[in-house]
Amino acid sequence: MRLLILGTGGMANTHAENFAVLPGVEMVAAVDRDPTRVEAFAAKHGVGRRFLSLEEALDWGEFDAVANVTPDAVHYATTMALIKAGKHVFCEKPLATDAEKAFEMAEAAEAAGLINMVNFTYRNVPQLQEARRRVLAGEIGAVKHIEASYLQSWLVSKAWGDWKTETQWLWRLSKSHGSNGVLGDVGVHIFDFAVYGAGADVSQAFARLLTFDKAPGGRIGEYPLDANDSFVMTAQFANGAAGVIHATRWASGHSNDLRLRIYGDKGALEVNHSNKEGSGLRGCLGADVEDFVWRDLEAPKTPTTYERFAQAVRSGLGDDPDFRHAARIQQIVDLAARTEETRREAELKAP
């Protein structure tokens, strides 16, 4: 697979590092509007070709697939151009800024017969994969209740950098700079974590989005600090289960932590993933339910999304998470924003 990296910001390095170790994958070109950045990226990762626009790269055309690591608002236009050119696409999350565009992207890729996947990075957590397997195997019975959370603290701690002075954080707090706040940034991750692990989509939801005062006048320089910092959601899942999903950037003591608890009528599972403490899976299963005993469970290694995309391109067989799944996740994001505006519960409907 001859791979082009589109966008050479911070996350592009993660893509390059993961694809570089895969047999049969050759990173042949990189694209970025910033000549200094694309030159530095190409030199760092041994990429031979550099382009300052996607149009230049498409005119060259000697690549099979693209890792689209452009800013969120650019995913739609760039991906549609790549699909038109017949290129397989591995896109960063969120797939688009709204579900309508996301479903359009999914339909275009499917009609063209192209491999299309989205980098929901927490699919790489083996414990999540094992939890899903056990749920689908019926080990906890019928799922009744789900709890999911994504906790960060970079608005409290400077461990990740100083958000008051660094643009890589400030833009995430500003709608005019393309941010949909914590809902759009990490909400897509925790929604995917929950629906994938529990094996069921969200069917109805009610959400509250909160934005807290962070600076005098509500802005720092050119950045109005108006994007949401926290959200809480109550949800009903397609399997009938009730759920609570929440995320915040004010969770003191948590660097970047995801947790999923799935309760069934025969047992329960808990997945924890932390950048600081690693990943874990616990279960209260079988006879342990009567004594409230939780035990650590093993999880076999699982292929990463990068590996599965490369394999999908080689085999010509699509894999998950694909564009259509990402569009359904974007529906939940859109639904959350809509219920905040209307102050009424809403139903997730098929496009």
Domain residue limits, the chain? 2-122+308-318, 125-302+330-347
Q: Does the CA dihedral 94-98-103-104 come out positive or negative?
A: negative
Assigned architecture for domain 125-302+330-347: 2-Layer Sandwich (3.30)
Nearest to 1 by CA among 313, 306, 308: 313
**Residue 131 to residue 246: CA distance in whole angstroms:** 20
- Asked if omega into 300 is within 30° of 0 (cis), the reply is no
Q: Quick one: which of 84, 71, 67 has its CA closest to 15?
A: 67
Low-confidence ranges of the chain (pLDDT < 70): none
For residue 189, the model assigns a pLDDT of 96
Per-residue tokens: 88 = 């397989």
Predicted confidence (pLDDT) per residue in 7-16, tens digit: 998 899 999 9
Alpha-carbon distance of 22 to 183, in angstroms, equals 33
190 within 8 A of 248, measured Cβ to Cβ: no
pLDDT for the residue 143? 98
Cα–Cα distance, 257 to 122 (Å, whole number) = 11
Tell me, what's the pLDDT at 178?
80
Per the listing, tokens 């998950």 go with 320
Report the topology of domain 2-122+308-318: Rossmann fold (3.40.50)
